[in-house]
Amino acid sequence: MRIYIKVIMLLAFLSLSSAAQTYKRIQINVGAGIRPPFLLEDNAKGVGPDIIHALNLIQEQFVFQLVAVPIKRRTQSLYEGWVDIIMWDNPNWGWELESLQHSQPLIHSKDVFITHADQYQSQDVFNQLKSHSLAMVHGYHYKFVNFETDPIKLNQSFDITLVRTEEDSINILLSGRVDIAVASDVALAWHFKKHPQSKNKILISEKYDTKYMRYFLVPASSPISAKELDELLILADEKGLLTPIYEKYGLVKPTFKRQSPLISH
């Protein structure tokens, strides 16, 4: 009888300990805007949600929760504490926090120009942007317009249609409503993954507008540091969880690696 009571007490203790561990798990709210394939229109699918799921599987200290935020409110969402960290962003894109850190790159990307392959066979069309109607994402920073985002100022020099996502930019081109669109190689890879027949319909520029990387952005107030995020990304990659995610969306996975320690002499 005494042994039975001790077993019951031990099981109760382990149950309470497990509950306490679960309770202590720190929630990290991860902000991300709808940017296919990073976050799809339903707010539940995409590269981002899949990576978040992988990070939750490999550890018990943090629980990551993806929070969809409007692209125009991404800085506000971090400044005002709606989210703890931001995913798929870059510290050079309108951020003013001096203490903002970032993880290792989640993706390497570049913006290119695309047009109708049946109408234009030469790359020369991409040297005459002011002579053609264009589609680009509202709020995105493009070098060819000197990183201007104000719609009124943009249309003073170009015939521009502003859209919500790069997927919209590609689709508006294919519908024949514009001559040229701007899209990232990431968005194009995802589009071709879904619609391989579109490859023959689109001529892609050999030149690019800008090259950049996207990261997790981490303010000083975050419950998790950029270094801790890097360690989790490396661990998830070592366990083979990240490669299938990137391949699923037609993307090239970056190399997640530990920094070599400095050797003193």
Length of the chain as a residue count: 265
Flag whether 198 is in a domain: yes
Over pLDDT 90: what percentage of the chain?
73
- 136, 157: one domain: yes
Note the pLDDT tens digit of each residue in 7-60.
Answer: 344 445 445 444 444 458 899 999 998 889 999 987 779 999 999 999 999 999
- 27, 116: one domain: no
Q: For the whole model, what pTM was predicted?
A: 0.83
Flag whether 255 is in a domain: no
Average pLDDT of span 235-262: 89
Query: Which pLDDT band, with edges at 50, 70 and 90, does 97 fall under?
Result: low
- 130, 40: one domain: no
Flag whether 240 is in a domain: yes
Average pLDDT of span 114-134: 96
Flag whether 257 is in a domain: no
- Six-digit token string for 93: 């894109």
CATH number at residue 123: 3.40.190.10
Average pLDDT of span 85-97: 88
> Which one, of 31, 85, 62, lies nearest residue 219 by Cα?
85
Distances (CA, A) of 134 to 126, 157, 170, 184, 258: 11, 11, 11, 15, 42
- 103, 230: one domain: yes
Report d(CA 193, CA 196) in Å as an integer.
6
Domain span at residue 78 reads: 2-107+213-248
- 160, 94: one domain: no
Query: Which pLDDT band, with edges at 50, 70 and 90, does 4 fall under?
Result: very low
- 19, 56: one domain: yes
Residue 93: per-residue pLDDT = 86
- 228, 144: one domain: no
Report d(CA 11, CA 34) in Å as an integer.
45
Residue 2: per-residue pLDDT = 53
Report d(CA 44, CA 39) in Å as an integer.
7
Flag whether 49 is in a domain: yes
Flag whether 261 is in a domain: no
- 24, 77: one domain: yes
pLDDT of 257 > 60? The answer is: yes
pLDDT of 94 > 60? The answer is: yes
Q: What are phi and psi of 52, to 5 degrees?
A: -60, -45
Average pLDDT of span 162-175: 95
- 133, 72: one domain: no
Query: Which pLDDT band, with edges at 50, 70 and 90, does 264 fall under?
Result: very low
Flag whether 39 is in a domain: yes
- 102, with CB counted inside 10 A (0-12, 13-18, 19+), is buried
Average pLDDT of span 215-233: 96
Domain count within the chain: 2
159-163/133-137 β-pairing: parallel
Who wins on pLDDT, 14 or 182?
A: 182
- 83, 203: one domain: no
- 27, 96: one domain: yes
Flag whether 182 is in a domain: yes
Residue 239: per-residue pLDDT = 96
- Domain closes at, from 162, 182, 211: 211
- 179, 227: one domain: no
Residues 6+ apart with CB under 8 A from 221: 81, 84
Report d(CA 48, CA 38) in Å as an integer.
5
Task: Enumerate the β-bridge partners of residue 202.
Answer: 116
